[in-house]
Chain A
Amino acid sequence: MSGIVVHLPQGSGGGADGEPGGEAVTLRLGPGEVARFGRGSSRTPVELRLADEAVSRLAGEIRVTDDHWQLTNHSTTQTYLVENPEGAGEYLRVSPRRAGAPIPFEFSRVVLPTRRGTTVSFQVFAPDHVYLDPPGAGGSWASRTVTAYSLDETATYFLVLVALCEPWLRDQSPVAVPTTPQVVERLRGHGTGGRLTARAVSSHIDYLADEKLRIGVAAAAPETGAGGVPGPGDRRNGKRDAVVALALKFAVVREEHLALLPPRAEAGARGR
C-alpha cells in the first residue's frame, strides 16, 4: 500500500499572489499523511496551490486513511464536488465545513467552483483499493491469503490490459504486444472504452505499471539490467511488455476476461 497520488494539471497552480499558471504538480501521500489545498499565502501554507481568487486561502485538505482518502472542506460557503470520471456521472457533494468525508473512488476529480462560472479541479488516484480473489471459498476475508496486487475488473485500465493480453489469451502465438493504436482500434466498439484516445491508453498503461503492479526497474527495462533507472515515459515498450508478462504470469487477466472486449470485427466473435 503506497497511499494516494494527487495530480494538479499544468496551468491550475500558481504563485502565492494567486496568479494563474504554473507547472503540473504531483504529490504522493502515504497513509496518515495530509495535504492542504487552497490559494495559500505566506501565513497559510498549502501543499497544493490553486490559483483562483474564488478559492479560499485554505480551501480544504486531503487525508489518506486505510486504502482511501478523506476530504475536509474548509470553505464556509462553497460545496465541492468529487467526480468519478469512470463512473458515468457518479459524484459526491462535500458540503461547506464538512470534516473528513470518505471518498470511495479509485479515480476522483475534485472540483471547486470559481466566480467566472468555470471550475478549478485536480485529480486524486487511490490505487490501494483491495479486491478479493475470485473463487470465494469459506473463511472471513480478514485472515485470507490474497493476491497483493489486485485490480478493479470494471475499470478502464483493466479493459486496456485485457486488450493488451488478448493475443496470448486466444493462443494466437503473437510476436509482439499490441501497440497503442491497435488497442484504440480494438476497443472502438466498446461502450466506454470506445472513446479512448491513444494518450489515454498510454496513461492507463503507465498507471498499471507504476501504481497498480508496481513493476520493478529490472522488469520494466530488461535490456538495461538492474542498474538502469528508466525515467518517466522512457522505455514505454519495455513497460508494456512487462505489464503483459506479469498480468499473464500471475493470472491477473484470464480467459474469462475476454468477454469484456467488444466482439472482434473479423474472424467472427468466437464465443463470449
Chain B
Amino acid sequence: MRVQGPGGPGGPGASWDSGHTELLPPGHRVGDWVVTEPIGAGGWATVYAGRPAGTDRPGTAARPREVALKIMPTAGLAPRQARGIAEAARREVEIGVRAGHPRLIRLLDDTVLSAPEQPALDGAIVLVMERARGSLRDLLGAGTTETEGARLIAGICEGLAHLHRAGWVHADLKPENVLIGADGSVKLSDFGLATELTTGTHGHGPPMGTLDYLPPERWRAPLGELGVEIRPSADIWALGLMIHEVFASGAPLFSGATPVARGAAVQEYAAGRAPLRMANGVPEFWRTLAADCLAPTHAARAAHTAESLLERIEARRAGGSLPRVRRSRLRRTARTALRALAACGAVACAIWSYAGHSAPEGAGATRVGTAEPPLQLRVFNAERACQDRTDRDPRCSLGLAIDPMRPYMAGNVVPARVWHADVLDADCQLLRGEVVIDESDTRSTHWFRVRLPSADPAAAADAIAWLPAVRTKDRPPLPSCPAPPGSR
C-alpha cells in the first residue's frame, strides 16, 4: 500500500504492471465521490484523485474540492489476504481518528464499496484523504536549498514526534510516504503498516516493509506469532536515510544496483565492515544528524528520538541570525580548502582552527542544535575475531596516544583502552601527525582528538587522547586541531 506521485520514478506506466489492477475511468463514482484521474498504485491499493459527487448540492461547501481516494480491492483474494488488507485499512483509520495532526495526512472518510454489478470493486475498502500536491520523492531529484531541506526534515520530525508520542511507529517511512500539501506543508501518509507500541518500547507488525528503508536489525529479525518487533528507532533509521537523500539530491546513501544489493550494503555497514559514506554536499549539521539516526544498532539509535532531533533542528533554526550564517560560510570555505589540499598548509589550518574554535574545548553541552564538535566516531578493530566480541577482552583492546606528534609506542599510550564499536566523541582532527601503520600496512598520519571514555566526570574535563584514523572507518567533518605543542 503506497502512494506514489505522478512524477515519481517508475510511476504508473513505467512499471512492470501485470494488469492485475484495472484502472477506474475518470467520472467513475465511488461512494460520495467521483474519480478524476489515477495518481498512483501500490501493492494493495490504487490511489485516485477525486472530487465530491454533486458539487452543486447546497451544504457541500465544507467539503474539500479535491481529495485522494485510496481504493483497496478485496475481491478475488484469499480470506487471509483480504483480512490483511482490512487490518491495514483499520490501522489507517485508527491513526486518522486518534492521532490527527497537521503533519499527518488527514482522513476524511472511509467506506466499503458495495458494487455487486462490478465484481472487481465489490467489497473494496475506500479511504478518502486530503489531496496532496506530490511526495518528497518528487522533490528529491530536483534538489532543494538548505533552507527548504531543513523545513522538510523538520516537518517529518514533527509528524514522527507526534506519531511516536501517540504510541505508534510508522514502520514504512520513505519519501513516497512523505506527502507535500498544496501549501507545501509536509504530511506523513500511508499508515498501513503502522504499529502500536504495546509494551512502551516496541510493538509487533506484519513482516513487511520497503527494502531500501529497513533498519539493519530488520534483515535478521525473527518472525514471531505476532509478527516482527517494530521499534520507533526503525522510523529514525528511515529518517536518517531521508535526511541524506534530501541534501544529496536524492542519491541513496547505500550503493547498489537493486534494493537487495543496497540492503546487503546496510548489513555490511552495520557489521562494521564498511564505513558510512555520505555524499560530499551534505551540510555538516545534517550530516551529523543523519549519522546519529543511522547508528548501526537499535540501542545506539534509541538515544535519538524524533523529539530530540526536532529540538536540535529548532535550536539551530533559532540561532539562525547573522553571526551563524557568517560562521557557516567560513566553515564551508575551510572545508573546501581541506578537500583540495589534504595536507593543509599553514593558512588553511589557521582558518580551520578559527572556524572550529567556537565550541569551547571539553564542553559537551554545545552539541544540541549545532553542527559544532564533538562528532561521534566508532572505533574499528581490523581483527575480525575481535569484531564480534562484546566481552572487552584485553587482547581485543586498542590504545590511544598521548601525543600524536611522537612515535606511537609504549610510553605514548594513555592507560584507558577502547574496543571495537565503542563510540567516542571527537572534537578535531590532525592530518599530519606521526605515521601509524596498521595491520594491513595502511600508512596514515591522520589522527582524531577524542574525549577519553571515563566513568569519572571530574577526570573527563581534560581527559583527551588521540585515536589513529586507521582505527575508525568514520570520517566526520571535524575542524582541524590547533597545532599540538611540539609540532612547531
Contacts and interface: CB of A to CB of B under 8 A. Distances in A.
Interface in B71-129: 77-78, 80-81, 84
Given A140-B14, A144-B2, A31 B267 contact: yes
B84 A251 contact: yes
Interface string A163-186: 000000000000000000000000
Nearest to B174: A143
Interface stretch (A8-16, A114-122, A129-137): A129-137
B238 interface: no
Contacts of B84: 250-251
Interface string B3-33: 0100011111111111011000000000000
Given A67-B260, A136-B18, A139-B15, A1 B219 contact: yes
B220 interface: yes
Contacts of A141: 16, 259
A230 B314 CA distance: 49
B137 A148 contact: no
Interface in B254-302: 256, 258-261, 263-265, 267-268, 271, 273-274
B210 A30 contact: no
B212 interface: yes
Interface in B179-208: 192-193, 206-208
Nearest to A256: B78
Contacts of A136: 16-18, 20
B407 interface: no
Contact of B211 (A31, A146, A213, A222): A146
A31 B223 CA distance: 21
Nearest to B19: A136
B223 A137 contact: no
B271 A30 contact: yes
Contacts of A135: 20-21, 43-44, 77
A255 B81 CA distance: 10
Interface of B: 1-2, 4, 8-18, 20-21, 40-46, 77-78, 80-81, 84, 137, 172, 174, 176, 192-193, 206-212, 214, 218-225, 227-228, 256, 258-261, 263-265, 267-268, 271, 273-274
B260 A137 contact: no
A155 interface: no
B264 A137 contact: no
B273 A33 contact: yes
Interface stretch (A36-44, A104-112, A187-195, A240-248): A240-248
A92 interface: no
A128 B260 contact: yes
Interface of A: 1-3, 30-33, 64-67, 128, 130, 133, 135-149, 213-219, 222, 242, 245-246, 248-251, 254-256
Given A65-B261, A251-B84, 18 more contacts: A31-B267, A66-B258, A130-B259, A133-B43, A135-B20, A136-B16, A137-B17, A139-B40, A139-B42, A144-B2, A145-B1, A145-B192, A146-B210, A148-B228, A215-B222, A219-B222, A219-B225, A251-B78
A31 to B, nearest CB: 4
Given A214-B220, A250-B207, A251-B84, A139 B41 contact: yes
A148 B21 contact: no
Contacts of B218: 148
Contact of B273 (A32, A130, A140, A248): A32
A226 B272 CA distance: 29
Contacts of A143: 2, 4, 8-10, 137, 174, 176, 210, 212
11 contacts: A30-B267, A66-B261, A138-B15, A139-B15, A142-B10, A145-B43, A146-B211, A148-B208, A218-B224, A219-B222, A254-B78
A147 B18 contact: no
Contact of A138 (B12, B78, B221, B267): B12
Nearest to A248: B80
Nearest to A3: B267
B142 to A, nearest CB: 17
